[in-house]
């Protein structure tokens, strides 16, 4: 198969983790005789520095002409600490989501037995935790009318949802639940918010079309607690834009590291794949960032292309590195491997260059010199 992939390296650790995904995709292409063609575009603080615009038109053009988009990370501390900045890196990502109508952000939360000690929860609570958050991505308070009065004493952000916006992601989430454990939880604040009451009404209405899926409803404050208290109760979690942003960061601690979680943003056209972590500027350029969030996002991209055998090979390789302690500094601060080494090990595993009968020491010859 031939696929055109738009690549946006972005800010901070974005470039170095995305480069590992590209190596992985190239290895897959080689092994399975596909052609992946990359076109690079700018976005975020990097784009502001180079062009003054967080999302140049050329990047939108590149994305519109591709089958999928692979994105690194966005954000820079110089904008975070300046509330008066008119142009911000994040505007680039928000505009891209809106322009491409990427209305559903899919964030799987997986736990790994070998990493349970890193999560702040007891191992017994983490067993069998496997759920997916469906976050609405192009509506709600993120995109509502924003206003600050003249003397800067009052500010407001409007939260609006239309029936159409709720319907399209809800159907997707129900269909996804049908392929999984058949449970869907709508997270909202229907005891207070009008928009949440609309979500609840519409989800109840369409639930009858999916009789095999058990539907339940949970207020977001309770959900925040339940994710920590009893995460295995969840299968598919459906929620609006801002609640989804917050609970997906919260849920990421269950896997042991924010650096591990991938995401896919899908709509009617091409889809975007990005790790859920931020730009982590303190680690940029040091070759210590965890590339797995990005590599697993590339695996989701392969699924999106219908290349399921290929995506399985990537996930097997990722699991193999985790099981054997080939991990970055966020996971093991003493015996850690570099970003590029993890990328290389994963590629070698995919290309079946690593023989399972070879002992650990031989594999470990790749070990970073720091250890
Ligand atoms: C995310 C991020 C973004 C969001 C930021 C960078 C605008 O936190 O993808 O979760 O809030 O959606
Ligand atoms: Mg977020």
What is the 8-class DSSP label of residue 142? G
The answer, yes or no, to whether any atom of ligand 1 lies below 6 A from the CB of 260, is no
Nearest CA to 25 among 285, 304, 278?
Answer: 304
Assigned CATH class of 120-253: alpha beta
β-pairing, 214-219 vs 183-188, is parallel
Nearest CA to 20 among 304, 300, 339?
Answer: 339
Cα 33 from chain centre: 27
Nearest CA to 79 among 109, 49, 56?
Answer: 49
The residues annotated with a catalytic role in the active site are 142, 189, 221, 245, 249
Compute the C-alpha angle 286/319/287, nearest 5°.
Answer: 5
The predicted structure's pLDDT at residue 272: 98
Q: Residue 131's beta-bridge partner residues?
A: 109
The answer, yes or no, to whether any atom of ligand 1 lies below 6 A from the CB of 251, is no
What CA–CA distance (Å, rounded) separates 367 from 371?
A: 7
Ligand nearest to the CA of 94: 1
Please check whether residue 288 is in contact with residue 329, taking contact to mean a CB–CB distance below 8 angstroms: yes
Q: Do domains 1-103+256-371 and 120-253 have the same CATH topology?
A: yes
Task: Quote the ligand 1 centre to 72 CA distance (angstroms).
Answer: 12
The predicted structure's pLDDT at residue 102: 97
The answer, yes or no, to whether any atom of ligand 1 lies below 6 A from the CB of 74, is yes
What CA–CA distance (Å, rounded) separates 179 from 174?
A: 9
Task: Quote the ligand 2 centre to 10 CA distance (angstroms).
Answer: 15
Residue nearest to atom 5 of ligand 1 (CA): 90
Atom of ligand 1 nearest to the CA of 137: 12
Cα 340 from chain centre: 20
Structural domain boundaries in the chain: 1-103+256-371, 120-253
The answer, yes or no, to whether any atom of ligand 1 lies below 6 A from the CB of 67, is no
The answer, yes or no, to whether any atom of ligand 1 lies below 6 A from the CB of 235, is no
At residue 67, φ and ψ (nearest 5 deg) are -85, -25
Residue nearest to atom 12 of ligand 1 (CA): 245
Q: What is the CATH number of domain 1-103+256-371?
A: 3.40.718.10
What CA–CA distance (Å, rounded) separates 57 from 38?
A: 18
Q: Residue 156's beta-bridge partner residues?
A: 147
Task: Quote the ligand 1 centre to 369 CA distance (angstroms).
Answer: 35
pLDDT tens-digit profile, the chain (371 residues): 999 999 999 999 999 999 999 999 999 999 999 999 999 999 999 999 999 999 999 999 999 999 999 999 999 998 888 878 889 999 999 999 999 999 999 999 999 888 888 888 888 889 899 999 999 999 999 999 999 999 999 999 999 999 999 999 999 999 999 999 999 999 999 999 999 999 999 999 999 999 999 999 999 999 999 999 999 999 999 999 999 999 999 998 999 888 999 999 999 888 999 999 999 999 999 999 999 999 999 999 999 999 999 999 999 999 999 999 999 999 999 999 999 999 999 999 999 998 766 566 666 665 444 43
Task: Quote the ligand 1 centre to 109 CA distance (angstroms).
Answer: 17
In which residue are the tokens 């809106």 written?
Answer: 98
Helix ranges restricted to H, 100-219:
123-126, 163-179, 194-207
Nearest CA to 301 among 21, 11, 80?
Answer: 21
In which residue are the tokens 């063609």 written?
Answer: 37
The answer, yes or no, to whether any atom of ligand 1 lies below 6 A from the CB of 93, is yes
The predicted structure's pLDDT at residue 85: 85
């Amino acid at each position: 198969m031939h696929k055109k992939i738009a690549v946006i390296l972005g800010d901070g650790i974005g470039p170095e983790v995305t480069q590992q995904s590209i190596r992985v995709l190239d290895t897959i292409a080689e092994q399975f005789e596909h052609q992946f063609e990359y076109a690079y575009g700018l976005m975020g603080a990097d784009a502001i520095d180079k062009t003054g615009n967080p999302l140049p038109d050329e990047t939108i053009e590149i994305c519109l002409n591709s089958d999928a988009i692979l994105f690194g990370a966005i954000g820079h501390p110089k904008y975070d600490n300046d509330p008066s900045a008119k142009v911000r890196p994040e505007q680039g990502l928000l505009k891209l989501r809106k322009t491409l109508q990427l209305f559903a952000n899919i964030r799987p939360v997986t736990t790994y037995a070998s990493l349970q000690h890193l999560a702040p929860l007891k191992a017994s609570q983490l067993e069998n935790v496997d759920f997916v958050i469906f976050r609405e991505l192009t509506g709600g308070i993120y995109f509502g009318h924003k206003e600050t009065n003249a003397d800067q004493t009052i500010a407001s952000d409007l939260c609006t949802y239309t029936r159409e916006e709720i319907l399209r992601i809800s159907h997707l989430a129900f269909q996804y639940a049908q392929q999984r454990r058949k449970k869907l939880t709508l997270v909202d604040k229907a005891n207070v918010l009008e928009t949440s009451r609309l979500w609840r009404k519409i989800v109840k209405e369409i639930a009858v079309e999916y009789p095999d899926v058990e539907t339940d409803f949970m207020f977001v404050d309770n959900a925040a607690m339940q994710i920590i208290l009893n995460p295995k109760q969840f299968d598919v979690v459906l929620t609006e834009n801002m609640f989804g942003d917050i609970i997906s960061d919260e849920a990421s601690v269950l896997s042991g590291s924010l650096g591990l979680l991938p995401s896919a943003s899908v709509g009617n056209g091409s889809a975007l794949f990005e790790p859920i972590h931020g730009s982590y500027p303190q680690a940029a350029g040091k070759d210590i960032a965890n590339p797995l969030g990005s590599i697993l996002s590339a695996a989701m991209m392969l699924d999106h292309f219908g290349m399921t055998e290929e995506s399985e090979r990537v996930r097997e390789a990722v699991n193999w590195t985790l099981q054997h302690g080939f991990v970055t500094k966020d996971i093991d601060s003493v015996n850690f491997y570099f970003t590029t080494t993890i990328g290389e090990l994963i590629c070698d595993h995919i290309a079946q260059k690593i023989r399972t009968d070879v002992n650990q020491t031989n594999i470990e010859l790749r070990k970073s010199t720091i250890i």
